[in-house]
Amino acid sequence: MHSTSQVVFMAGAASLIATLACGLGALPVALGRVDLKKHVPLGYAFAGGLMYSASVFNLIGPHLRSDNVSTILLLLLGIFLGCFFLYGTDKFLANRRFAESGFLGTGSKRSLLILIAMFLHSFPEGVAVGVGYASGIENFGTYIAVAIAIHNIPEGLAIAIPYRAEGASISKCFWLAVLSNIPQPIAAVPAALMVSFFKPLLIPSFGFAAGAMMYLVLLEMIPAAVKSEISHARFAWVFMFGFCLMLLVQVVI
């Protein structure tokens, strides 16, 4: 049995590694000869597919196995609160002066909303890592951390694509992807220390993150692609490719 200090250290270290793994998702945008600036709508379609799939299969799906009505209601409450939060955030960012201020040096309102949604998404994952290490089940926390690290990579790509398409450097895309997961190690440590407090927050927190991400995909990313000159069929194929790629990642882990 590990001491409290060992549990906290392992939870913090594992979640930090998972956070850095998100930055690896920015590396593919440096490879190949695809001009993302000319394919921004397809980039949004692909990133949207990744995010929607992560919301459905990583955040919502695991909790649907429960036959506890209160669990489902907490999940639904979290989803709607996440939608309302992103709705309010979108209204706030619609302020023209704020939109033109060049927040973080580059990026449109849409890119910033993606960053915010991913930021929210990483908090419950950090809590899950902390709770996993404090559960006392052998290697359970490590399993959760590894699983999160693997699926963080395509999520980092979902962040990097729109920022890279708008002119951000590879290094900036990397650090923005890492920044989006900063809540993960921050949440893991207190969750490991106060399991009884954080564990009940897991389900509504996962729902909240899922609601924010799905609302973002429907509000910004799909309309941005559909309004462009690319064919709707091409958009649909790219969206589904991103969706299935994240599904494959979930199945593998």
| Three-class DSSP category at 93 | helix
Supply the DSSP string of 126-139, one letter for each residue. Answer: HHHHHHHHHT--TT
* DSSP structure string for 26-66: TGGGGSSS--GGGGHHHHHHHHHHHHHHIIIIIIIGGGGG-
This prediction's pTM: 0.75
CA distances from 160 to 63, 202, 229, 243 (A): 29, 27, 22, 17
d(CA 66, CA 86): 27
Determine the Cα–Cα distance for residues 76 and 18; give it in Å rounded to an integer: 27
What are the percentages of helix, strand and coil residues in the chain, rounded to 5? 85, 0, 15
CB 243, CB 52: distance < 8 Å: yes
Note down pLDDT in tens along the chain; length 253 residues. Answer: 566 777 788 888 888 888 888 888 788 777 655 555 556 677 778 888 888 888 888 788 877 776 778 888 988 999 999 899 888 888 877 764 544 444 444 556 777 787 788 888 788 888 888 888 887 676 777 878 887 888 788 778 878 877 877 777 888 888 888 888 888 888 888 888 887 777 788 888 888 888 888 888 888 778 877 777 778 888 889 899 989 988 887 777 6
